[in-house]
Amino acid sequence: MMDWFSDLFSQCQAWVYETLVQPVVFGLGYGNLLEDAFDATGWLLVGLLQITVMLVFIGALERLYPAEPVTDRRAVRVDILYTLIHRLGLFRLALFFAIDPLWDALSGEMRLAGIETFQLDALWPGVTDVAWVSFLVYLVVFDFANYWLHRAQHGFEWWWQLHALHHSQRQMTMWSDSRNHLLDDLIIDSAFVLLARLIGVPPGQFIALVAVSQLLENLQHANTKLWFGAVLERVLVSPRFHRLHHSIGFGHETDGRGTLGGHNFAVLFPVWDVLFGTASFELRWDPTGVRDQLIEEGGRDYGRGFWAQQWLGLKRLVRRTS
Ligand SMILES: [Zn+2]
Ligand SMILES: [Zn+2]
């Protein structure tokens, strides 16, 4: 099944590349970037596939079984814009050009110092080099890193000023996963590209890992009352589990000194929250947002449009660090 799918995907990628991308890139005189353009085509296709799955399946769940009524369509439209920017390659392209030179310099230094990069799939020959086993191993390693990165986003005051934008959505939907400060995206996505290179994830597997994780993250943000039942809730993060993380005054509060409170920081596997004492499996669907947005708590403005949100995020950051 996985082989069949990856064959089909490669064929699509080759076709779009040869008929559309290659002639344009060549015509513009960027023949030296053809290899990068091929990778970019792959990411673009993955993004389109993700958005199709979202519209067809997750969208249906939101309509059939919503957690709350949609009263603020404009807030949802801004999140759709975030999703298009983040998933359809514009952001990835920038990242690619930012990370690649950095990585080349770093790995050159490491080679000079005699440090080899680690090949995680070579750990147990015959087992960890089987495609689906290595895929699961990478998924777990990435998710562990994700849990701690997410806790850091809440634990460091300066980082929270950026991540608060993600939490300021009071009308949460499947599009809200991508609602992040671009600087926050840059830090998190860079960390994952570097981690992938450090443990030797092959490019094809990396694309699949990112695609699967992101789709599950879209599902978790969906405006739906879906939960997975007492057992599966503890295996995979559900919309109910993640909505609790967004719950005002419960999911993500710090006491102002950077000390962590809050629940449900895991991205895919709730086991990290169970192990590190931050899990909550309560069946409740609270309003989402940040406490200081409430009128009685000062009514802080996190911005309505894309640029306002980005600008206010930078201002919060500067005020905290200066
Ligand atoms: Zn968070
Ligand atoms: Zn979230």
Q: How far is the CA of 168 from the centre of ligand 2 (A)?
A: 10
Q: How far is the CA of 25 from the centre of ligand 2 (A)?
A: 37
Q: How far is the CA of 282 from the centre of ligand 1 (A)?
A: 18
DSSP-assigned letters across all residues of 125-136? TTTTTSHHHHHH
- What is the number of the ligand closest to the CA of 221? 2
Q: How far is the CA of 89 from the centre of ligand 1 (A)?
A: 24
Q: How far is the CA of 47 from the centre of ligand 1 (A)?
A: 23
- What is the number of the ligand closest to the CA of 220? 2
Asked whether the CA dihedral 94, 95, 100, 101 is positive or negative, the reply is positive
Q: How far is the CA of 221 from the centre of ligand 2 (A)?
A: 6
Q: How far is the CA of 98 from the centre of ligand 1 (A)?
A: 25
- What is the number of the ligand closest to the CA of 265? 1
Q: How far is the CA of 111 from the centre of ligand 2 (A)?
A: 38
Residue 254 phi, psi dihedral angles, 5° rounding:
-115, 165
Predicted local confidence at residue 257, as pLDDT? 46
Q: How far is the CA of 183 from the centre of ligand 2 (A)?
A: 16
Residues whose CB is less than 8 angstroms from the CB of residue 88 and which lie 6 or more positions away in sequence, other chains included: 44, 47, 48, 51
Q: How far is the CA of 163 from the centre of ligand 1 (A)?
A: 7
Q: How far is the CA of 265 from the centre of ligand 1 (A)?
A: 6
CB-CB contact of 73 with 27 (8 Å): no
pTM above 0.85, yes or no: yes
Predicted local confidence at residue 89, as pLDDT? 63
Q: How far apart are CA 153 and CA 260, in angstroms?
A: 10
Q: How far is the CA of 10 from the centre of ligand 2 (A)?
A: 31
Domain ranges for the chain, please list them. Answer: 2-321
Structure tokens at 173: 């939907």
Q: How far is the CA of 22 from the centre of ligand 2 (A)?
A: 37
Q: How far apart are CA 210 and CA 69, in angstroms?
A: 30
CB-CB contact of 153 with 193 (8 Å): no
- What is the number of the ligand closest to the CA of 262? 1
Q: How far is the CA of 78 from the centre of ligand 1 (A)?
A: 19
Predicted local confidence at residue 258, as pLDDT? 45
Beta bridge partners of residue 254, listed in sequence order: 260
- What is the number of the ligand closest to the CA of 178? 2
Q: Name the residue with tokens 């690619």.
A: 96
- What is the number of the ligand closest to the CA of 150? 1
Residue count of the chain, please give it.
322
* Sequential pLDDT tens for the chain (322 residues): 667 877 888 888 899 889 988 888 888 888 887 877 888 888 888 899 999 999 999 999 999 999 999 999 999 999 999 999 888 866 666 666 666 677 778 778 877 887 776 777 777 777 777 778 889 999 999 999 999 999 999 988 899 999 999 999 999 999 999 999 999 998 998 888 888 888 888 877 888 888 899 999 999 999 999 999 999 999 999 999 999 999 998 888 755 444 457 899 999 999 999 999 899 999 999 999 999 899 998 899 999 999 999 999 999 999 876 5
Helices 306-321, 182-198: axis angle to 10 degrees equals 80
